[in-house]
Structure 1
Amino acid sequence: MVRRRDNLYAAGFRRGSSGFTMVELLLVLMILGLLAAIVVPKFTGRSEDARITAARTQIANFETALDMFETDNGYYPKSSDGLLDLIEQPNDARNWRGPYLKTGIPDDPWGNAYIYQYPGRYNEKGFDLMSMGPDGRVGGDDDIINWIETRR
């Protein structure tokens, strides 16, 4: 008759041993690292796409507010006053019905100020609005703008 203790020993179990072997731990860490390498870049790209969408939406909100300002006052704010005229009444705005933005003037999703220029250099609508995008510099393909660029 084979004793139970002998069967456990033969199966690889030892009394008092618990936990994982170093090989098992390394294997688990390797699998977790592989999964992280696959999953993390996908979420990182989604986060950047969400920021770009948020910047485009905010520029559209600025456009609406600027158009409302122009309808009430007959002109767009000067570049020197910038978007501040949307939340604080300028001295020369007799029909100002603002504030035209509920929450003040936010920074873009990367923490930079939006750039406003009137009269606009590129936009037929009359003013240029821009976020410098992820790189935080003017120029380049990552800038988010309110005009249509024509490439030659």
Structure 2
Amino acid sequence: MKLTLFILLFIFIFSIFTVKVIDDDKVDIVDIVDLDLVQISKALEIYKGLYGFYPESSIWISALTEDNDDIGGSAIIESIPKDAFGESYIYNYPSKCNGGEYDLYSKGENRIDECKSGDDLVVPN
């Protein structure tokens, strides 16, 4: 009886610890994507400040990452990383999703472009 109670208690404690670790990993991934999206959106705002408009969807990465004579010969942002799920961030200008001037988001864990809905991760407010 005591052994059974001990085993059940051990399984219960282990399951709580496992759920906590998984939840912490998801929070870390969301934090990483949030930081990337904030940095990219700030780079987009700098670009708009320089030129009066956002870069076209087809050239946005090079527009932000290549050396720029208008800001002393350096890039606005060093690089655009892949998201925490190994996918490219989605950028549309003009917006194709929920309004706004442009779309910037991660396809999320399911890696399906749901146009800023579902599990897609967007720039935090």
Normalising by the smaller structure, the TM-score range is 0.7 to 0.9
1:56-135 alignment, distance < 5 Å: 56-89=34-67, 95=70, 97=72, 98-102=74-78, 104-121=79-96, 122-124=98-100, 126-135=101-110
CA distance in 1, matches of 2:99, 2:32: 21
Q: For 1:133, give the aligned amino acid.
A: G
Show CA shifts across 1:26-73 (max 9, x none). Answer: 998776544322201111011102211221221111111011111122
CA RMSD of aligned residues (A): 2.8
Q: For 1:101, give the aligned amino acid.
A: I
* More helix per residue: 2
- Paired residue total: 120
Q: For 2:70, give the aligned amino acid.
A: N
Q: For 2:120, give the aligned amino acid.
A: D
CA distance in 2, matches of 1:61, 1:38: 35
Pick one of 111, 114, 123 that aligns with 1:136.
111
Higher relative contact order (CA 8 A, sep 6+): 2
Structure 1, unmatched stretches of 5+, are 1-23
- Give the 3-state SS of the residue equivalent to 1:95 in structure 2: helix
Which of the two has higher C-alpha Rg?
Answer: 1
- Give the 3-state SS of the residue equivalent to 2:70 in structure 1: coil
- Change in 2 beyond 3 A, CA 1:80/1:61: same
Structure 2, unmatched stretches of 5+, are none
TM-score by length of 1: 0.65
CA distance in 2, matches of 1:67, 1:48: 28
2:23 counterpart of 1:45? yes
Q: For 1:141, give the aligned amino acid.
A: G
CA distance in 1, matches of 2:19, 2:95: 38
